[in-house]
Amino acid sequence: MRVDILTIFPGMFQGPLTESLINKAREKKLLDIRITDIRSFSKDKHRSVDDRPFGGGPGMLMKPDTVFDALSSAAGKLKKNPPRWPSVKKPLVIFMSPQGSVLDHALVEKLSEYRHLVLLCGHYEGVDERALKYVNQEISIGDYVLTGGELPAMVLIDAVSRFVPGVVKDPASVRGDSFFNGLLDYPHYTRPAKFKSMSVPSELLSGDHKLVERWRRDQSINNTKAKRPDLFKKYIKKHKNKGV
């Protein structure tokens, strides 16, 4: 998978993208992550990318021509008002925005089907609306506002990359994670078997694989019911005819 990041602060990505699984995936050529400084498309000697908003108001806006040129450099020829979900073979242009669809498990899986993602990171008061006419998706990581789109882009890359074949060594660990089957994950334990008077559940020490799987499923259901009743209701509704 190729991921293009368009930002005015490329240095912010050096730590998160040069450590752990992301860095290993890049070294193995599983992820081709390219970071582009939007300022390189500025048309003046000061490399400015922003200007005052028409109509007045606080803050500055990123200029449409500069952003458009940056998008074109990463995604190729752009069409105005493109489809939200083009062919997975084509670049998917995403604006990281608090106004966008909230990133969840289902959306992460859908994004992972694409071969090429282009992530536009806004700053200041936002981006001129005319440049956003060439974006496929607006995606948010939650109902709050950050100083820019860089941190949300990092979150998206981290979440999506786990679904790229080969990035996570054991695919079963992805399938067992929270949200994969509509439930939260079950509790995990490791050695020592006793810690500060707390013991590992006997089911996990039994050696009975069926018993372990049943315990984990029950705990996953209980965990979801206690911590995320909203998810539990959706799970029950979906499985009401399956004897859950």
> What positions carry a catalytic annotation?
98, 125, 162, 177
How many C-beta atoms surround the C-beta of residue 191 within 10 A? Answer: 7
CA dist., res. 21 & res. 19, Å (int): 7
Contact 129, 99 (CB under 8 A): no
CA dist., res. 109 & res. 95, Å (int): 18
Query: How far is CA 138 from each of CA 77, 154, 163, 164, rounded to the nearest angstrom?
Result: 19, 15, 21, 22
Contact 179, 105 (CB under 8 A): yes
Beta strands per DSSP E along the chain: 2-7, 32-37, 50-51, 61-62, 92-102, 116-121, 137-140, 194-195, 198-199
> Which pair of structure tokens corresponds to residue 18?
């040069």
- Cβ contacts of residue 51 below 8 Å, gap of 6+? 60, 61, 63
CA dist., res. 138 & res. 236, Å (int): 30
- Cβ contacts of residue 242 below 8 Å, gap of 6+? none
Residue with tokens 């013991």: 199
